[in-house]
Chain A
Amino acid sequence: MGDFDFSIIAANWRFLAEGLRYTVQVTLTAMVGGILLGTLLALMRLASLWPLRWLAAAYINFFRSVPLVQVILAVYLILPLLLQFLTGRLIPIGADNSAYFTFTIFEAAYYAEIIRSGIQSIPRGQVAAGYALGFTYSQTMRLVVLPQAFRNMLPVLLTQTIVLFQDVSLVYAIGATDFFGAADKITQRDLRPVEMYTTVAVVYFVLCFALSRLVKYLQSRIAIIR
């Protein structure tokens, strides 16, 4: 045991904290953006107009069929070219910013499927009752269906977010420094992999476990009395 040297953590805590901050930021951005975009995709997928359904299905199936690492790389490489093509100017985006965009559009596909099943779990009679009171489609969705659907799917949405939180580590592929990336970089320089990776694992565990406890707590708080 004498060979363990955890001073490496103390010496580099600022760098690690920066990485963790980035990981949390990407997670929150992709969660909020992904749920918003995912809700739109889910509503499109359940729409009566077939082009909307088709478009949403194509989007969802595409992103669910491609490995995340590849999407991270592709967006990083293609997005600047696309922006240059559209604006005629070279806009440096950088790996850090590219990841915000990638995770949002990628996670939206997964959130969309969760949200779709959540919407479908609401009895049709609830929709009929909304319409019968004179609500429009959008009022029926906003006031009746989605509030109930989100309560039902909260555990699954947050589970997906926990997966997302861990998946942010894949930004190593484009050289962005998230929490795991920061640890990795220090390890390669200082050669203390055991101490570093153990610490990282513990931090991931504590955060994810806390999040899953939060899910449980929220679930009991906002459960619908039936």
Chain B
Amino acid sequence: MIAINNVSKWYGDFQVLTDCTTRVAKGEVVVVCGPSGSGKSTLIKCVNALEPFQKGSVVVNGIAVENTKTNLPRLRAQVGMVFQHFELFPHMTITQNLTVAQIKVLGRGKEEALDKGLKLLDRVGLKSQADKFPGQLSGGQQQRVAIARALAMDPICMLFDEPTSALDPEMINEVLDVMVQLAREGMTMMCVTHEMGFARKVAHRVIFMDQGAIVEDATKDDFFGKPHSERAQNFLAKILQH
């Protein structure tokens, strides 16, 4: 589904990604973790070409994103993305947020888009908030709407870029619950997150990154059981202490 092959990226002289290679199979849930500044978010944004890269290739569902002939809007419409800061459109109601891309990008009719949007809103438990504006919702609620907005496009896979890092602690679980449910339904997911509980629960594989490189790419059990690299061991020791 997603193939990342030898991707390298530089900001000027500074190399942010070094020769990253990994794959996400259909139905697979892959968690990407690592210290901040390790390039996790940059890597995941390369998948839908929000971040350009200078070397290597990324193939999503058979389409190379770095190819200049690729119709990027069409490709991105099939890849759902959830951001750290939600990025709902603040000037639109929740309903409009859920329907605008369905109508403008997929060409769905208003009725159909509304129907789909409200169903998904119900699914994330926020049906009663349909006519509110994003600013009237809590962070956790906004992030659930953002997930519903991405799902409304019937994506073939979902990218999560630290979806819970900007949330107050008591709101993290309501978002993770939605993500766990999604994973169990077989959605292909690539998640940048520090939530190791989530990784333990639903991830098939865990990728550990440090200084722009993929240091460890292991099955969940291997990663939590016996990580190869010292850096991954240290990282786990630090974040799993409590």
Contacts and interface: CB of A to CB of B under 8 A. Distances in A.
Interface of A: 123, 125-126, 128-129, 131-136, 139, 143-144, 147-148, 151, 224-226
Contact of A134 (B45, B91, B105): B105
A129 B87 contact: yes
B125 interface: no
Contact of B83 (A129, A147, A148): A129
Contacts of A147: 91
A133 B76 contact: yes
- Closest 5 A-B residue pairs measured CB to CB? A134-B77, A225-B135, A129-B87, A133-B101, A132-B81
Given A131-B76, A134-B76, A134-B153, A144 B89 contact: yes
B25 interface: no
A133 B77 contact: yes
Contacts of B105: 133-135, 139
Contacts of B78: 134
B86 to A, nearest CB: 9
Given A134-B101, A134-B105, A128 B136 contact: no
Nearest to B89: A144
26 contacts: A123-B85, A125-B83, A126-B87, A128-B45, A128-B50, A128-B87, A129-B83, A131-B50, A132-B48, A132-B50, A132-B80, A132-B150, A133-B76, A133-B100, A133-B105, A134-B73, A134-B101, A134-B153, A136-B73, A144-B89, A147-B91, A148-B89, A148-B90, A224-B135, A225-B136, A226-B90
Contact of B104 (A139, A148, A225): A139
Contacts of B83: 125, 128-129, 132
Contacts of B106: 134
B99 to A, nearest CB: 11
Interface of B: 45, 48, 50, 72-74, 76-81, 83, 85, 87-91, 100-101, 104-106, 133-136, 149-150, 153
B87 A226 contact: no
B81 A143 contact: no
Given A128-B83, A134-B101, A134-B153, A224 B48 contact: no
A224 B76 contact: no
A26 B54 CA distance: 51
A11 to B, nearest CB: 51
A134 B74 contact: yes
A148 B87 contact: no
A45 B85 CA distance: 28
B136 A135 contact: no
Given A125-B83, A134-B73, A134-B153, A143 B50 contact: no
Contacts of B74: 134
A226 B85 CA distance: 13
Contact of B73 (A128, A135, A151, A226): A135
A220 to B, nearest CB: 15
A122 B153 CA distance: 24
Given A133-B100, A133-B149, 17 more contacts: A126-B87, A129-B89, A131-B48, A131-B50, A132-B50, A132-B76, A132-B80, A132-B81, A132-B83, A133-B76, A133-B105, A134-B153, A135-B105, A148-B90, A148-B91, A225-B90, A225-B133
Contacts of A139: 104-105
A126 B91 CA distance: 11
Nearest to B132: A225
A47 to B, nearest CB: 16
Contacts of A148: 89-91
Contacts of A151: 91
Contacts of B153: 133-134
B87 A135 contact: no
B214 to A, nearest CB: 23
Contacts of A132: 48, 50, 76, 79-81, 83, 150
B136 A143 contact: no
Q: Which of A128, A133, A139, A144 has the most CB of B within 10 A?
A: A133
A129 B133 CA distance: 17
Contacts of B73: 131, 134-136
B87 A125 contact: yes
A222 B101 CA distance: 23
